[in-house]
Amino acid sequence: METAAARLRACIALLFLLTSFVATRPAAADDYPSRPIHIIVPFAPGGASDLAIRLLQPGLEKVLGQQLVVENKSGAAGNIGMEIAAHAAADGYTLFFGNVGTIAINPHFYPELKVKPAHDFAPVSMVSETPGIFITRPDFPSNSLKEMVSYVKARPGKVNYAAAGISTLNTLEMEQFEHVAGLKMIQVPYKGGAGPAVVDLMGGHVDVMCVTYSSALPFVKAGKLKGLAVTTKERLAELPDVPTVVELGYPDSVSSSWQGLFAVAGTPQPIVAKLHDAVVKALADPTVRAHMATAGMLPSPSKSPDEFKSYIAAEAAKWAKVVKEIGAKPQ
């Protein structure tokens, strides 16, 4: 009798534990977040990614009801911060603010990279996009992209372009265009981001470059640089006279510097869904949208985490092909 009673008590206790576990799982998601959330940005303060998340930060804090702590972990083209984020707990309290470089380009450019974004992160939503623009020094002989192509073809190896970082999107955009247009140009590497390169371009020290249009917008408007084409399908409201690469016959050159929010792989789906909804609501705020527009960014929330995941897969395939075609390697 004692053995049977002990077994019965054990079964009841086990049933109670299982019932309690199942009952508390949804509650954990419902209570999220119950403490501050840390967002790792893999670049230094002041860059495009840092600016995008800080513009979004107040709106997210308002929607989620918790403080967001932005942590800048820069170095190695964003790979250091990405590795730190990938090894965090999958509980929604450490997020990663990735971009086209860290998520879609670096895995193909750095074969030794320990992180596999497609497996180590759970996409939440895209946040913003910043198109690129082909620009030239103010006294460059060409006034359009087609004129530039003809000019460079007539002078192979004589025209140079500024490259702000070997593996950056803008440099790959320039190399990809050079490849598809059949051009032979000289690359002039720059450190410290696009800023120094744009300054040298205005000073006439280099000839052309591709850069995020937010970095060139005020100078193009002021006539200090010439805008030849934007890397979008449709013209931009801020630069209505600058044609698109599609209009000019280069549809493969459509691209943008995008930023997005990621959770650690294995984060419960209800938490990912709650974060996605928070991004959408925050980006719907007219003030946030206005500030992003001023910074040259296009608010671009994904319809769902799955849509963002599909977009990333397409971007990764695209840039893998570009890296292979142009033979880009770390230097």
| Highest mean pLDDT (candidates 89-93, 169-173, 186-190) | 89-93
Q: Which CATH architecture does the domain made up of 35-130+257-326 adopt?
A: 3-Layer(aba) Sandwich (3.40)
Alpha-carbon distances, residue 59 vs 4, 63, 299 (angstroms): 59, 6, 13
Say how far apart CA 166 and CA 198 lie, in whole Å.
16
Tokens of 232: 């979008």
pTM, entire model: 0.80
Burial class (CB in 10 A: 0-12, 13-18, 19+), 144: middle
Residue 70: the pLDDT is: 97
**Dist. CA 257–CA 5, nearest whole Å:** 67
Range with the poorest average pLDDT among 17-21, 223-227, 245-249, 324-328 = 17-21
Top-tier CATH class for 132-253 = alpha beta
Please give the average per-residue pLDDT across 214-237, as a whole number.
91
Strand partners, 188: 162
| pLDDT over 90 (residue 208) | yes
* Residue of 260, 265, 308, 259 whose CA lies nearest to 92: 265
281 pLDDT higher than 50: yes
Alpha helices in 87-227 (DSSP H): 106-109, 117-120, 145-153, 169-181, 194-202, 213-221
Task: Report the C-alpha gap between 183 and 181 in whole angstroms.
Answer: 6
- What are the structural domain ranges in the chain? 35-130+257-326, 132-253
- Which residues partner with 208 through β-bridges? 136, 161
**Confidence category of residue 25, pLDDT binned at 50, 70, 90:** very low
Q: Per-residue pLDDT averaged across 245-274, rounded? A: 95
Averaged confidence pLDDT in the chain? 88
Distances (CA, A) of 81 to 97, 146, 168: 9, 40, 16
Do the two domains 35-130+257-326 and 132-253 of this chain adopt the same fold?
yes
Q: Which two tokens stand for residue 296?
A: 């040259």
Confidence of residue 4 (pLDDT cuts 50, 70, 90): low
CB atoms near residue 3 (< 10 Å): 7
